[in-house]
Amino acid sequence: MDSISIEDLTITFVSTNYPRKLVRHLREIKKYQICKSEKGIYYVYGDQIPIQILVASQLDPSENLWLRSLTNNLHERQMARKLIDEYQKHEKNVLYQSMMDVIVRANTQQFNREDKRMCEALRELMEEEFEAERGKARREGLKEGRSEAVKTVVSNLLEMNMPIEEIIKVTGESEEIVYKMIEELRG
């Protein structure tokens, strides 16, 4: 309890398009002020907890590649190629691993339909990652290593404010296991 101070929290809404109804509600009903910080980033003032709204379609792709890609509707082949290039530069970083895993899992159908070579490249990339995790898990004890890897992914997804239902889908774990991991992470 109170392990994270309320001053250290931020509520982030991520939307593909500008959320007119939400903004109207925040302005008219809640009487909050909404200020555009930069393309695709809006700050909401008036609540005790800082709030921001990210509009993925408005974000500058050259500066916000990873944020723009957190969608289940990734169609731009160039963006996917940039993601792979950036990922390869940082493939040892757990946050990049988690982000790439989420993006690939969320966009499997799009990649299968649109560009078989892209899908294969992503699968190979992720397979390398999974193989590395499997190897690590074997060294540490298969069950413990897998559990820790999944717990790291769950932790990173929680930090990105992903809904628990989506975390369950992404990890492929049961609802019970995911909730248990969340309890461990928060407790």
pLDDT in tens, 34-85: 999 999 999 999 998 899 999 988 988 778 888 887 777 776 667 777 877 8
- Our CA dihedral for 162, 66, 61, 41, rounded to 10 degrees, sits at 40
Instruction: Give the three-state DSSP class for 86.
Output: helix
Choice among 52-56, 133-137, 148-152 with the minimum mean pLDDT: 133-137
Per-residue model confidence (pLDDT) at position 124: 62
* Gap between the Cα atoms of 25 and 105, Å rounded: 33
State the pLDDT confidence band at 114, using cuts at 50, 70 and 90: very low
Distance set, CA 1 to CA 6, 124, 162, 166 (Å): 11, 42, 21, 25
Token digits of residue 123: 């699968």
